[in-house]
Amino acid sequence: MFFVIFFYFAWLFAAIFYIQPKVISKAENMIIFLIMLVISIHWNWIIYEELILVSISKSTGDYLSFLIFRSVIVPLAAIIYINIILKNTTRLKTILVTFGGAFCLFVFILLALAGEIIEMKHWNLIFDYLYFVLYFCAVLVIHYVYVATIQKEGNMT
């Protein structure tokens, strides 16, 4: 049941990204997606697999739901976020979109808890919310560093 829900939202996020007007190039979107995918996978590997602060269900469907969330939904949310933020936004709008986007991803954690996909052992839900806020802040920093690097290389030639 929850596999279908997570699968649906993965496609929904992909459709939103596809329909959304892009502010940055396809290459920048892909680079940000891949970097944020690596960050998401490593974070989840450390918290869920190594430190075992949160346990994941052994059921195949539930585990696939977790993988879809970690590997598709979260990185897609990052590139949707960066394309929203870079459209002539104010600082207040940036803050609201950051906290709102983090809350949207946090709802997926609550859904995973309700469906017994994950089980908290030595972990607090606030840490997940803070992670998502910092994750979105990292998207902004990574984009800034990428743009600064490209501009620096462009000035050298």
Q: Which domain holds residue 91?
A: 2-7+25-156
**In the chain, how many domains are there?**
1
Q: 36 and 75 in contact (C-beta within 8 Å)?
A: yes
pLDDT at 157 over 80: no
pLDDT at 155 over 70: no
Provide the pLDDT for residue 1.
84
Alpha helices in 45-121 (DSSP H): 60-68, 74-85, 91-114
pLDDT at 88 over 90: no
Provide the pLDDT for residue 150.
86
For the segment 41-52, the average pLDDT, to the nearest whole number, is 94
Q: What pTM, to 2 d.p., does this model score?
A: 0.92
For the segment 86-110, the average pLDDT, to the nearest whole number, is 95
For the segment 75-83, the average pLDDT, to the nearest whole number, is 97
Asked, for residue 16, whether it belongs to a domain, the answer is: no
What whole-number distance in Å separates Cα of residue 82 and Cα of residue 104?
15
